[in-house]
Amino acid sequence: MRINPDEISKVLLEKIENFERIPNLKEVGHVVQMGDGIAHVYGLENAMYGELVRFDKGQMGMIMSLEIDSVGVVVLGEYKNIKEGDLVERTGRVVEVPVGDELIGRVVDPLGKPLDGGPAITSKKTMPIERKAVGIIERQPVKVPLHTGIKAIDAMIPIGRGQRELIIGDRQTGKTAIAIDTIINQKNQGVICVYVAIGQKNSEVARTIEKLRKTGAMNYTTVVVANASDPAALRYISPYAGATMAEEWMFSGKDTLVVYDDLSKHAASYRELALLLRRPPGREAYPGDIFYTHSRLLERSARLSDELGGGSMTALPIIETQANDVSAYIPTNVISITDGQIYLESSLFYGGFRPAINVGLSVSRVGGSAQTKAIKKIAGNLRIMLAQYRELETFAQFSTELDPSTQSQIKRGQHLMELLKQEQFATMPFEEEAVSIYAGVRGYIDDLPLGEVKRFEKGMIEKMKKETKILDKIREKKDIDAETEEELKRFIEEFKKKFGGR
C-alpha cells in the first residue's frame, strides 16, 4: 500500500485550518482575609450562594455570604494552613453528599467521608444537602404508626411515620436514650434509620455506636457525625446531610427515621458562623433567619403520596433546655415547627421514674390517627387517669383524710406510673405493650404491692407467650376484638390467682 504525501499534507492542512482553540476558563479568586474558619475571597464575581469552592491546598468551602467586593466562605474542614493570598477556585456545584444503600451500616462525616475505618463510600449517586420540601399535594396524612417500643410514648404520645416529634428536656434526662431505643425498636420493621450526632463528645458518640452495633441496629442505620471538635461549618451542614441521605430512601418508597441530636448545638453552630460572617445579631445573638434554618430542615419530613411511592421520613429532633425553660427562644421555635413534643422532666428522672416523660406537657398532634386500634382502645383513658392522679397527689399532701374514691384513684395512678417505668434498651412489641397497659387500666394490678408490679407484668407476658396465642392474635389483627378480650381477661384473672399464691 503506497502512501501519498500530498494526501497527508492536505488532511493536516485542513485540520490546522479548522482547529479551534477552546480555552479552559476557570474563575479563580484569592483570600483577602482569613480567620476562625471564615475566608473572605475577592475575585469570584459570578459565585452563587451555597456554592462549593476549592482552596489551592485542597480544602473545600461553602459560600455563605455575598458582599459587594468579596464573598464569605466557610471552610468545611481544617483551616489552619489557609493564608491570605491563597487561590480559591469555583466548582460550579453546591455541597453534595453520597446517597444510597452503600451508606447503611456506616459512620460518616457530613460530607459522606467514612469515619469507621472502612473503605470509601462508592455510591454512584450524590444529592445536594439543601432541597426544597415536598408540597402539600405530594403528601398524604400520617396514618401508619412508628412504634418506639416505649409504653408511655406508644400509649399516650404516639408517633406516626412522616411525623416530626420533638424530644425536649434538660441535659441528662434521657433524651438520646429515647431516640436510640426507637432506632433499636425498628429492627424487622422495614425502617431505615439515620442518626445525626451534632456537636457531641467523641466518647458519647462512640458509646452510642457501640450500643447500636451490639443490638444489631447498625444493619439498618447510618450515623452522621460532626463532633464537638469539628469546625462549626461541618456541625451546621450535618443535619441537612442526614436529611438528604434519608430523603433518597423516602423517594424510593421506603420508610425512614432521622434523629437530630441535637438542634440546640446546631443553632449555636449557626450563630457562631453568622457572627463571624458579620451578620447582624438578633435575640440571644442568633441571626434573624434562625427559625428558617430549622423549619426548612424539619419540613422535609413527610409521608409521600402513593403516586410518589408512599415512602416516609420521620424526624425526631432533640432540644436541650436550661432549667426546664421551654419558653426560651430556640425551644419555642422548634416546638412551633414540630407536630408535638415529648417533654422530659429532671425531677421525674431523679425521682426514679424513667423514661422521665411529663405526660401533662407532652403531646402528639397527629399520632392518635396513627395509633394501632389495640392500643387506642385500651389507652384512651390512660392520660386522663394519670393527669387526675397527679392533681389528686398534690391535693392529698394537704389533707389527712381522703374518701375511698380518691384513695382508689391515687392507688390506681401509683400503680400505672410503676407500670410505665421501663429500662433503657428494653423495648417491647406493641402487642405486649397493649396487654401490659390493659392489665393496668382495668385495675388488675391495683391491689399488688408497688414493688411487685414489674414482676407481675414480666411473668404474665412470659406465660402468655408460652401457653396462649393471644399475643399472636393481637399482632395479626392490630386490634383486640370481643373474643380476644374475653380470653385475655380469663388469662389475667387465672394468672393473678396463682401469682397471689406465690
| Percent of the chain at pLDDT exceeding 70 | 96
Domains in the chain, number: 3
333 and 348 assigned to the same domain: yes
Q: CA 375, CA 31: separation in Å to the nearest integer?
A: 61
| 12 found inside a domain | no
362 and 426 assigned to the same domain: no
365 given a catalytic annotation: yes
401 and 438 assigned to the same domain: yes
- Give the residue among 302, 227, 311 at the shortest CA–CA distance from 265: 227
| Per-residue confidence (pLDDT) for residue 368, from 0 to 100 | 79
Q: What is the pLDDT of residues 308-353, one digit of tens each?
A: 999 999 999 999 999 999 999 999 999 999 999 999 999 999 999 9
**How would residue 66 be classed by pLDDT, with cut points 50, 70 and 90?**
very high
| 33 found inside a domain | yes
242 and 192 assigned to the same domain: yes
Kindly state the helix (H) or strand (E) to which residue 192 belongs, with its residue range: strand 191-198
Q: CA 337, CA 347: separation in Å to the nearest integer?
A: 27
170 and 328 in contact (C-beta within 8 Å)?
Answer: no
Annotated catalytic residue, options 54, 139, 296, 365: 365
482 and 359 assigned to the same domain: no
393 and 254 assigned to the same domain: no
Evaluate if residue 179 carries a pLDDT over 70. yes
| Per-residue confidence (pLDDT) for residue 2, from 0 to 100 | 62
| 3 found inside a domain | no
Q: CA 435, CA 151: separation in Å to the nearest integer?
A: 11
| 8 found inside a domain | no
DSSP letter at 480 equals -
| Per-residue confidence (pLDDT) for residue 1, from 0 to 100 | 54
pTM greater than 0.85: yes
Q: CA 375, CA 428: separation in Å to the nearest integer?
A: 13
SS3 328: coil
404 and 464 assigned to the same domain: yes
Last residue of a domain, one of 39, 60, 93: 93
Residue 58's domain comprises 28-93
Q: What is the pLDDT of residues 307-319, one digit of tens each?
A: 999 999 999 999 9
- Give the residue among 316, 318, 313, 340 at the shortest CA–CA distance from 266: 318
Q: What is the pLDDT of residues 419-436, one digit of tens each?
A: 999 999 999 999 999 999
| 271 found inside a domain | yes
SS3 78: coil
340 and 398 assigned to the same domain: no
Q: What is the CATH number of the domain that holds 81?
A: 2.40.30.20
| Per-residue confidence (pLDDT) for residue 24, from 0 to 100 | 47
Last residue of a domain, one of 55, 73, 93: 93
Evaluate if residue 22 carries a pLDDT over 80. no
429 and 468 assigned to the same domain: yes
Q: CA 457, CA 447: separation in Å to the nearest integer?
A: 14
Count CB neighbours of 151 within 10 A: 26
250 and 385 assigned to the same domain: no
Q: What is the pLDDT of residues 379-416, one digit of tens each?
A: 888 888 888 888 887 777 766 677 888 888 888 899 99
